[in-house]
Amino acid sequence: MTTEADEVLSALGIGEKARVLGFDLPPEHRQRMLEMGLTVGVECEVMRFAPMGDPIDIKVRGYQLSLRKKEAGGVRVVRI
């Protein structure tokens, strides 16, 4: 089975799905992501971008979550 290289959540386009691999964020931001349900192994989908590209709305665990582009850039994912 071929494994794609991991990338960051902010690099995905609208409608693309990914699985969270890990975080490259300061501890307080990482903890906030975990509290919002964005944990390692969870699947998410990019729903939309704000008009200026920030924030990014994603669907995770059945609800929509808005993340700043900088935060999403610290979430390592693999496309599915």
pLDDT score for 53 = 78
Share of the chain above pLDDT 90, in %: 84
Average pLDDT, the chain: 89
The pTM of the full predicted model, rounded to 2 decimals, is 0.83
DSSP the chain: ---PPPEEGGGPPTT-EEEEEEE-S-HHHHHHHHHTT--TT-EEEEEEE-TTS-SEEEEETTEEEEE-HHHHTTEEEEE-
For residue 2, pLDDT beyond 50: no
Place of tokens 């990482």: 30
Question: Into which CATH architecture does domain 7-79 fall?
Answer: Roll (2.30)
